[in-house]
Copies of this chain bind each other. A is one copy, B any other.
Amino acid sequence: MNAPALSQARCGDCPIRHRAVCARCNADELEELDGIKYYRTYEAGQPIIWSGDVMNFVGSVVSGIASLTQTMEDGRTQMVGLLLPSDFVGRPGREGAAYDVAATTDVVMCCFRKKPFEELMERTPHIAHRLLEMTLDELDAAREWMLVLGRKTAREKIASLLAIIARRDATLTPGGATNRMVFDLPLTREAMADYLGLTLETVSRQISALKKDGIIELEGKRHVTVPDMRRLMEEAGDDSDGGFLG
């Protein structure tokens, strides 16, 4: 893979409150991170890691959206996770990457060199603890997605995805989830298809159908208004919190 632009920065520069390790960005042990932490930026479409590559860093997404995908020899692909700001990338204690990671939009990552990070983890149990919690969250999310992939119809799949994206935006928006929600799709139709185990044509058709039925409104191809979140949730086939972020 190609080498993206790399910039060094002190911890205090962390632009957001990270959910995991970086959540400690202003805390005591952070002093120890000087010199092992840096930022990287990736352009939309760029690969971040290839499955099987040796990963010599861990990190978390600062801005933008990255995707985890698995690929078969014949080219069939399945997206197995979406990485949103504050999500963690990397597997302490593992050598290689398990899946392809790519930037879906422009992405800024906050990285830590792996070795020192692991040593830090040894010394500070609550970091390991936080990491375990995040991993459990991701596991829940992945298993919830298994239900979507295995048992839901195309329409339900689309509604589930829209609900997740809306809910994600809600957590980033002061005020949070309301009945009416407005957001931009951060994914192409093709990426949505890869996420949902569908073809892009089916994605397009089902979005059109949801629009025709008044479940959503569309402005351009990406800007979505959901006039009534409850109706969208019904279309998704369950009332569950349904939060796949992993």
Looking at A6-14, A27-35, A131-139, A202-210, the stretch in contact with chain B turns out to be: A131-139
Contact A151 B93 (CB under 8 A): no
User: Which residues does chain B contribute within 8 Å of A147, judged by CB atoms?
Assistant: 70, 72, 78, 80
Residues B143 and A143 in contact, CB atoms below 8 Å apart = no
Q: Report if A165 contacts B (CB, 8 A).
A: no
For A129, list chain B residues within 8 Å (CB). 93, 128
A151 touching B98, Cβ below 8 Å: no
A50 interface residue (CB < 8 Å to B):
no
Q: What are 30 A-B interface contacts by the 8 Å CB criterion?
A: A70-B144, A70-B146, A70-B147, A72-B147, A72-B151, A73-B239, A76-B151, A78-B146, A78-B150, A80-B143, A80-B147, A91-B136, A92-B132, A93-B136, A98-B140, A98-B143, A122-B125, A125-B128, A128-B128, A128-B129, A132-B135, A135-B136, A135-B139, A139-B246, A145-B146, A146-B146, A149-B149, A149-B150, A149-B197, A150-B196
